[in-house]
Amino acid sequence: MPGLGITLGRGGATGNLQDLQNSDAILIQGSNMAEAHPVGFRHPMIAKEKNGAKLIHVDPRFTRTSAMSDIYAPIRPGSDIVFLGGLINYVLQNERHFEEYVVNFTNAATLISEDFEDADATGLFSGWNEETQAYDPSSWRYEGQPIDHAPVGGSQGTLIGEAGEGQQHEMHDGRPRPNDQTLQHPRCVFQILKRHFERYTPEMVEKVCGTPKEAFEAVAETICENSGREKTTALCYAVGWTQHSKGVQLIRTAAILQLLLGNIGRPGGGIMALRGHATIQGSTDIATLYDILPGYLPMPDVAKPHDTWRDYVETETAKTGWLSNFPKYATSIMKAWYGENFDHEEGKLFEHFPRISGDHSYYPTIMAMKDREVDGAFVFGQNFAVGGPHARMAREALRSLDWLVVLDAYEIETATTWKMDGTDPKDCGTEVFFMPSGLVAEKDGSFTQTQRLLQWHDKSVEPPDDARSDAWFVYHLGRRIKKLYENSDDPKDDLIKALQWDYPTEGPYDEPDIESILKEVSGYEIESGRPVSGFADLKDDGSTACGGWIYSGAYADGVNQTRRRKPGDNPNHEWGWAWPADRRILYNRASADPEGKPWSERKKYIWWDEKESKWVGDDIPDFEADKPPSYRPEPGDEGMDAIPGDGPFIMNGDGRGWLFAPIGLKDGPLPVHYEPLESPVPNPLYFQQRDPALKVFPGRPDNPYNGPEDPRYPHVVTTYRLTEHHTTGAMSRWTPWLNELQPELFCEISPELAEEEGVSNTEWVTIETSRGRIHCKALVTDRIPTYKMDGRNLHTIGLPYHFGPNGIVTGDIVNDILPVSLEANVGIHEAKAFTANLRKGRV
Amino acid sequence: MATGFLTDTTVCIGCKACEVACKQWNQLPADGYEFTGDSYDNTKQLSGDTWRHVAFIENPKKKRLTGDVDLVALAEDVKEDLPNGAELDGLGRWTFMSDVCKHCVEAPCQQACPTGAIIRNEFDNVYIQPDVCNGCGYCVPACPYGVITSVPEDGRAFKCTLCYDRQIDGLEPACAKACPTNSIMFGEVEELEKVAEERVKQLHDRGYPQAFLYGTPEVGGTGGIKGNHSKFILMDVPETYNLPENPFLPQDKVAGATVASAVAATMIGAAVVWAFRG
Amino acid sequence: MAEETKRNGKPETSHHPETDPERGDKNYYGIPPIKRAHWTWQIYVYFWVGGIGAGSHLLTVIGHLLGWRDEAFFRTTKYTTLATMTISPVLLIWDLGRPERFLNMLRIVKLRSPMSTGSWALSLFGSMSGLVATKRAAEDGLLLGDNFLSRLAKLVPDRLVSVLALPLGLYVGAYTGILLIATSVPMWARNWLLMGPTFLSSAVSSGLSWTSLVLHLGNWGEGKTLGALKKAEKIVLAVEAVLIAASLVRMGKWSKPLFSKKLGPLFVGGTLVGGIAAPLVLLSGKETRNKSILASVLVLVGGFLFRYVMVVGGRESADDPESYFTFAKKDGGRPEAGSK
Ligand SMILES: Nc1nc2c(c(=O)[nH]1)N[C@H]1C(S)=C(S)[C@@H](COP(=O)(O)OP(=O)(O)OC[C@H]3O[C@@H](n4cnc5c(=O)[nH]c(N)nc54)[C@H](O)[C@@H]3O)O[C@H]1N2
Ligand SMILES: Nc1nc2c(c(=O)[nH]1)N[C@H]1C(S)=C(S)[C@@H](COP(=O)(O)OP(=O)(O)OC[C@H]3O[C@@H](n4cnc5c(=O)[nH]c(N)nc54)[C@H](O)[C@@H]3O)O[C@H]1N2
Ligand code: SF4
Ligand code: SF4
Ligand code: SF4
Ligand code: SF4
Ligand code: SF4
Ligand SMILES: [Mo]
């Protein structure tokens, strides 16, 4: 989530769901919270019913969330930056920003280099290189910073998690940056921002988003009224924002808005990134992504000066800000993995450590599979034969493997591609090993959910028959591999031999003890084996081991902190454990004014206690506990010493929220509206049609795109979830109680489109893109608005993506008609806006 | 002590967790897999296998703002400010209602039951003893709400037990437990009545004069059966939710009908006597 | 297909009918707000058979009271009652979902449940009329000659028993109607006052016709008996006609199902014309054996169809939201309070 990572410092939701009860207004946009997060949605409902908070939903469809909201504003899919830009413009033009907060806590006052040129009518910032189709961000730097900078790229991982690493130390050497506290200087961030968003007027919003001006203004007025000293507005989003060709910039727009309104780090404020799968947050925290190590530490990279351990540590250590601690965390990981075998001085083993050699993210790997560059694959807990874009291509890729291991509790499509799409099993050379997995109730473990909260679950029954937990599978696989290589003297196998892989086991099947793994992740002193109390205890002298620094403390005092389950008032530190350091609201230093006093009695949270000389309040301060508000760094200060006492965003080198991102993003320092890759209309704001840094695959005829304004594909499709099913339906399509509630695939269309195509409710239709076609029944409903632009009706087709051929209820695979394209910063696909046509009947 | 439900439809998010929780707790089978096209309601109604059912009332365009996009539902307090005299109504554009047995104070199903299978248990809930029911099916057309229904397997009647098996263990019913927004409130009937009164008043104050409590003998509807222990806060006429406005107690007419039949019997008998003598 | 689902040339939508002006009628997607009775063929056959039994018993009692001596007549009525009262429980138990639990019907007495009182009445009446018929059988030598059982049977005070059984018998004839009205089905409930009497009149007319038919077919029975039966048939049919007419007036618009495409021909043609008007005409003219037989058959068929359309019409009534909702309005068609 670099949209948040770059702006605020950490790529996680800034608050917790319970805290939404303290909000005075809640803007839900890019998420269908009531349907996809029904239990979490109880908190907005409590805010609304008990405290009179205003709920706002901005969505292309009128959903169950809209039904609960005080204000619903329709929006054409893919136009959110215009809407949010419009809000920013509204705030700036009407001077509704929280001046004191903005001046002190954001980089609004900082001056930007003279070289910077804003995206004018072209839609491109200075630094765009037509040839490489990439930006050189050197002109975006803060004034007075050296031009040379760490190459942006390589370890994307840092972007996903933290804004730290190499970017910061180039920026700041401790001297105060040229700035203008009056925010008047034409090159200060504030003025740049104001000019940048000037074109995002309410009229433009109405034109581009299709949102009626009244609705837009009602939203704008409501969030302005409910922000400031006394009030806070929260913002919730999920994949309605991320799954766009410019998702990161979209989320950044939201973060900018919240910074301007002074809503970050304060109770009832913040940005709730609603995360999906039960532990999807955990899966990025503890690094299932190819380009990060646990805790969002950068993965060694061939393109970076990472030749030796020393090089690696030096390159990646930030001079200022929290990530100046990088050596401690990196060393502790290596110690957790290799123990004595890792020599932290020399780091010899590091030479064999894998390094990123290119884009090995999910889709490029699928394409490589299809091109027979990959022999085999393990698939754990994922059903991408249905869930990934252009799923038909993914299935072909699966059929091109020599072997495939699927570990899942259901016979998912990913394991049955050899009999799908009319394949004759005889013609499919893939050997499939289907391993039955245990499900959540059948194993111990923890979930890290949407608010970075780790919650433990105990096994309640043994997995049935041959089913085993994933941990069992991985652990015993690891043991067997180690055994195989035991006697190898090939140096490249040293890593395998050096790996410490000896967790205690229990039960009849030798299940690894999961708590012992949590203990390792949380960290311990190697000598004594004593668990550390948090990442502050971690050392770079090889005396501590810690598998993921951000989780450090989850096993403090030898107690499984994630198992705590005492109900209580928010923030309830007796329930679960939140990273980092059990903080429930991040950047909470910002809940006090620059002098450390609460902004208001009503919104009191963390403040500076003069008498005790420390930060106190309801939560764990997200700040050095004894650094007074008046502290100012000396020139040359490094590490945390470089962060002033009034810099709440400690992960950013300057302690400020970044309204303007001088570095770190591949598609510009400020958000710009581009049309989705596939759009029926030209970009009304800029000449540049789509995100310039978007990664596409023009060389692949098996992945064609519908061109902009292609008359053959006049409608926009957006895909989403239903409460009644789960993601690819792998689990829910086998559950009769859910299946009767939503028994088949359908598309939601407006009565206007239905009339144009002569389709009635429940009739069959065919939806087609250049990738393929699917059939489903139509649900004709007014809840799908028709958008008008330049006198033309723009229709939206809504498609839930839960169906496939296996299960009690079945349906066509929606993702068969999606294209593969990769957002510039995180490589996500664009499932929320692409074009198609719709015809009556099954053709 | 009588326990019951208050289902506040104004905070129901239509998640159907109650419907699923009920099925799961009671291990009820699915009712079939039919795409109805009736909004998001594919289970349609209560049945012997569906004891909670969430209704979806999808309202089409109520108002037109500027241009053709008119899907704006705004807060009560900005109501006046809207141009073109547009009517704004945050609630009611898409309404959900979780239906269940009404646990009638004078329950027609119970009065109909010839075997005494249907009783009022110690919580004053209307409860079917499945081991007594012989599947005569007479309770089914007696219920004024279409709740109790015979199952195809053996014709026995089933409906919400108000989770008797949970209540005796001091647990709240599964549906109420699952409800994320507290749309389903479980508790003592008297307490719930107070809650309801307050909530209705609050809704009136917020500019929803149409809100009312369904299921009391006084306010609309259930005079004939002296009210329900399972009540609903509704935002529209009852028929919208497939509920009758003024259900009656069918058994009220049994005595009268019997007297009329006796009179008729006498007259017909006399006629036959007369004919036979002539 | 598509054309049918369209309204006013607009595409059909998923909107709620009440709020979508394109969709009109007030209800929840046309889904019945109440559940129909499941009753299958056993029930209306039982209604008919039981009615014949009840009617026959009335004739037995009146015959005895009037001091008739026509053995063929009594044999017919008594054996008819016995037979119908044997078939009826079989049909009823057949219809139960859990036949093995039929005795639960007699677990309790519930005066406000016609199903309960009816079951009791049927059991008691069945047993009592069974005794009467057993005596008759003993007298007819049908109990395998002179044995203990037949001697015992001959001791039954049959006149007393049949008189005592009469109210029960009449109740068996009438309660089937009361059973229907004590439901939420508008067509039935609306006719609460007259349903029982109408069912009873039909029971008696069927009993009369059945007896007449048997006597004619067997060439049994005295002329006087046949004449009396014919006269009674005419009178009771007339009463039945009046009751049905009054019922229809009472039911008002809720009688719609009786005139539906499916039931209308059966009700009008089968019951009203075929089962009442035609027999009345046949019986009024010059008497012939064939005409009497035909009239009896028509009455019996008409009586069966009457019960059929009433039961099946109730289904349609229950399935029609409009019908129920208008009926269950505060000022709607529901029975006035207090008229118990
Ligand atoms: N019941 C249920 N719950 C789930 C899941 C499930 O499958 N079923 N999945 C879980 C997972 S993995 C995830 S990631 C989350 C996702 O949670 P959400 O993001 O809330 O879910 P979606 O339904 O994918 O999309 C949300 C909304 O985005 C809207 N949308 C589409 N395009 C745009 C756009 O351009 N702009 C805006 N503003 N909105 C747009 C859609 O109309 C939809 O209402 O849900 C989680 N929760
Ligand atoms: N068009 C379109 N496509 C989308 C999206 C969209 O909005 N639109 N959303 C995207 C999003 S946000 C997501 S998260 C993905 C989801 O896509 P996937 O993750 O591919 O889909 P799931 O069905 O959730 O697959 C999870 C699998 O894990 C299995 N499983 C559950 N528990 C366990 C366990 O303990 N062990 C093991 N080994 N297996 C287990 C389940 O049976 C299931 O098969 O889909 C993406 N695709
Ligand atoms: S499925 Fe689980 S994670 Fe999702 S809303 Fe329900 S309780 Fe929460
Ligand atoms: S609602 Fe129906 S089933 Fe429930 S108690 Fe009342 S009559 Fe009985
Ligand atoms: S079906 Fe069962 S519960 Fe219903 S009336 Fe008959 S015996 Fe009673
Ligand atoms: S109380 Fe129990 S039985 Fe009744 S609807 Fe709720 S969960 Fe189902
Ligand atoms: S669980 Fe609650 S919110 Fe969800 S549908 Fe049922 S009543 Fe409504
Ligand atoms: Mo997700």
pLDDT digits (tens, 9 = 90+) for A451-507: 899 999 999 999 999 999 999 999 999 999 999 999 999 998 999 999 999 999 998
Q: What subunits touch chain B, counting only 3 or more CB pairs under 8 A?
A: A, C
| Alpha-helix runs per DSSP H in A153-295 | 157-161, 167-171, 189-196, 202-209, 213-225, 239-242, 247-260, 280-285
Amino acid present at B170: G
| Ligand 4 pocket mutation, candidates B47, B99, B109, criterion most atoms within 8 A of CB | B109
Q: Is residue C202 part of a domain?
A: yes
Which pLDDT value is given to residue B206?
Answer: 83
Q: Using CB atoms within 10 A of its CB, is residue A486 exposed (0-12), middle (13-18) or buried (19+)?
A: exposed
Q: Tell the residue nearest (CA) to atom 2 of ligand 7.
A: B179
Amino acid present at A144: G
Q: Is residue C62 part of a domain?
A: yes
Residues 6+ apart with CB under 8 A from C135: C153, C154, C156, C158
Q: What subunits touch chain A, counting only 3 or more CB pairs under 8 A?
A: B, C
Q: Is pLDDT at A819 greater than 90 in this prediction?
A: yes
Q: Does A756 touch chain B (CB under 8 A)?
A: no
Q: Of ligand 3's atoms, which has the minimum distance to the CA of residue A278? A: 3
CA of A275 relative to ligand 8 center, distance in Å? 6
Amino acid present at A613: S
Which pLDDT value is given to residue B202?
Answer: 92
Q: Is pLDDT at B221 greater than 60 in this prediction?
A: no
Which pLDDT value is given to residue B93?
Answer: 76
How far is the C-alpha of C277 from the C-alpha of A501, rounded, in Å?
Answer: 97
Which pLDDT value is given to residue B89?
Answer: 41
The answer to whether the Cβ–Cβ distance between A761 and C5 falls below 8 Å is yes
Q: Is residue C243 part of a domain?
A: yes
* Chain centroid to CA A156: 13
Calculate the average pLDDT of chain A.
Answer: 92
Residues A296 and A551 sit within 8 Å (Cβ to Cβ): no
The answer to whether the Cβ–Cβ distance between A68 and B72 falls below 8 Å is no
Which pLDDT value is given to residue C337?
Answer: 38
Which pLDDT value is given to residue C19?
Answer: 66
In chain C, % helix, strand, coil (3-state, to 5) comes to: 70, 0, 25
Query: The CATH number of the domain where C211 resides is what?
Result: 1.20.1630.10
Q: Using CB atoms within 10 A of its CB, is residue A631 exposed (0-12), middle (13-18) or buried (19+)?
A: middle
CB contacts of C335 in chain B (<8 Å) are 248, 252-253
Q: Is pLDDT at A209 greater than 70 in this prediction?
A: yes
Which pLDDT value is given to residue C27?
Answer: 85
Q: Tell the residue nearest (CA) to atom 6 of ligand 4.
A: B104
**A758: nearest CB among C2, C14, C15:** C2
Query: Is residue B101 lining ligand 4, measured as CB closer than 6 Å?
Result: yes
How far is the C-alpha of A662 from the C-alpha of A167, rounded, in Å?
Answer: 9
What band does A12 get if pLDDT is binned at 50, 70 and 90? confident
Which pLDDT value is given to residue A480?
Answer: 97
CB contacts of B93 in chain A (<8 Å) are 62, 66-67, 72
CA of A33 relative to ligand 1 center, distance in Å? 8
Q: Is residue C276 part of a domain?
A: yes
How far is the C-alpha of A542 from the C-alpha of A558, rounded, in Å?
Answer: 21
The answer to whether the Cβ–Cβ distance between C170 and B250 falls below 8 Å is no
Q: Does C337 touch chain A (CB under 8 A)?
A: no
For A550-675, strand residue ranges (E) read: 577-578, 606-609, 614-617
**B74: nearest CB among A71, A724, A787:** A71
Q: Based on the structure, what is the number of domains in chain C?
A: 1
Residues 6+ apart with CB under 8 A from A448: A279, A281, A282, A285, A454, A579
Which secondary structure element, helix H or strand E, spans residue A813, and what is its range? none
A400 backbone dihedrals φ, ψ, rounded to 5°: -95, 0
C10/chain A closest Cα distance in angstroms: 7
Q: Is pLDDT at A258 greater than 80 in this prediction?
A: yes
In the three-class reduction of DSSP (H, G, I as helix; E, B as strand; rest coil), residue A677 is classed as coil
**A38: nearest CB among B15, B35, B72:** B15
pLDDT tens string A276-304: 888 888 888 988 888 899 998 999 999 99
* Over residues A84-104, mean pLDDT: 98
Q: Tell the residue nearest (CA) to atom 6 of ligand 6.
A: B175
How far is the C-alpha of C115 from the C-alpha of B137, rounded, in Å?
Answer: 10
Domain boundaries, chain B: 3-247, 249-278
Q: Which is it for strands A577-578 and A453-457: parallel, antiparallel or unpaired?
A: antiparallel
Residues 6+ apart with CB under 8 A from C218: C72
CB contacts of A759 in chain C (<8 Å) are 2, 11
B46/chain C closest Cα distance in angstroms: 10
Q: Is residue C26 part of a domain?
A: no
Range of the domain at C191: 35-324
Nearest to B234 by CA among B57, B48, B18: B57
Q: What is the DSSP letter of B97?
A: E
Compute the radius of gyration of chain A from its Cα atoms: 26
- Residues of chain C with pLDDT below 70 are 1-10, 19-26, 331-340
* Over residues A681-695, mean pLDDT: 95
Q: Does C314 touch chain B (CB under 8 A)?
A: yes
Q: Is pLDDT at A153 greater than 50 in this prediction?
A: no
What band does A174 get if pLDDT is binned at 50, 70 and 90? low
Query: Is residue A78 lining ligand 1, measured as CB closer than 6 Å?
Result: yes
A257/chain C closest Cα distance in angstroms: 37
Which pLDDT value is given to residue C22?
Answer: 62
Q: Does C13 touch chain A (CB under 8 A)?
A: yes
| Ligand 3 pocket mutation, candidates A17, A32, A39, criterion most atoms within 8 A of CB | A39
* Over residues B160-175, mean pLDDT: 98
The answer to whether the Cβ–Cβ distance between B114 and C321 falls below 8 Å is no
- Specify which of A757-771, B57-71, C215-229 reaches the highest per-range mean pLDDT: A757-771
Query: Is residue A434 lining ligand 2, measured as CB closer than 6 Å?
Result: no
pLDDT tens string A427-453: 999 999 999 999 999 999 999 988 899
Q: Tell the residue nearest (CA) to atom 4 of ligand 3.
A: A37
First to last CA, chain A: 40
Q: Tell the residue nearest (CA) to atom 7 of ligand 3.
A: A39
Which residues are bridge partners to A839 per DSSP?
Answer: A766
Q: Is residue C6 part of a domain?
A: no
B134/chain C closest Cα distance in angstroms: 5
CB contacts of A39 in chain B (<8 Å) are 180
pLDDT tens string A611-625: 999 999 999 999 999
pLDDT tens string A219-249: 999 999 999 999 999 999 999 999 999 999 9
A279 backbone dihedrals φ, ψ, rounded to 5°: -130, 40
Cis amide linkage into residue B238, ω under 30° from 0: no
* Over residues A786-791, mean pLDDT: 88
Amino acid present at A579: W
Q: Tell the residue nearest (CA) to atom 7 of ligand 5.
A: B133
What band does A70 get if pLDDT is binned at 50, 70 and 90? confident
Q: Is pLDDT at A689 greater than 70 in this prediction?
A: yes
Closest ligand, as measured to the CA of A831: 2
Which pLDDT value is given to residue A430?
Answer: 96
- Is CATH 3.30.70.20 the classification given to domain B3-247? yes
Which residues are bridge partners to A378 per DSSP?
Answer: A405
Q: Using CB atoms within 10 A of its CB, is residue C277 exposed (0-12), middle (13-18) or buried (19+)?
A: middle
- Greater confidence (B92 vs C119) lies with C119
Q: Is residue C127 part of a domain?
A: yes
**A779: nearest CB among C1, C6, C14:** C14
How far is the C-alpha of B243 from the C-alpha of C334, rounded, in Å?
Answer: 15
Residues A32 and A63 sit within 8 Å (Cβ to Cβ): yes
C27/chain A closest Cα distance in angstroms: 18
Reading the block at residue A717, the tokens are 């499709």
Q: Is residue C340 part of a domain?
A: no
DSSP C292-327: HHHHHHHHHHHHHHHHHHHHHHHHHHHH-HHHHHHH
What band does A162 get if pLDDT is binned at 50, 70 and 90? very low
Q: Does C185 touch chain B (CB under 8 A)?
A: yes
Q: Does C243 touch chain B (CB under 8 A)?
A: yes
**Residue C217 CA: distances (Å) to CA of A695, C100, C160, C221, C292:** 96, 39, 30, 10, 10
Which pLDDT value is given to residue A212?
Answer: 86
Residues with CB under 5 A from ligand 8 (ion): A 276
Which pLDDT value is given to residue A145?
Answer: 78
Which pLDDT value is given to residue C21?
Answer: 59
| Ligand 1 pocket mutation, candidates A81, A83, A239, criterion most atoms within 8 A of CB | A239
The answer to whether the Cβ–Cβ distance between C6 and A760 falls below 8 Å is yes
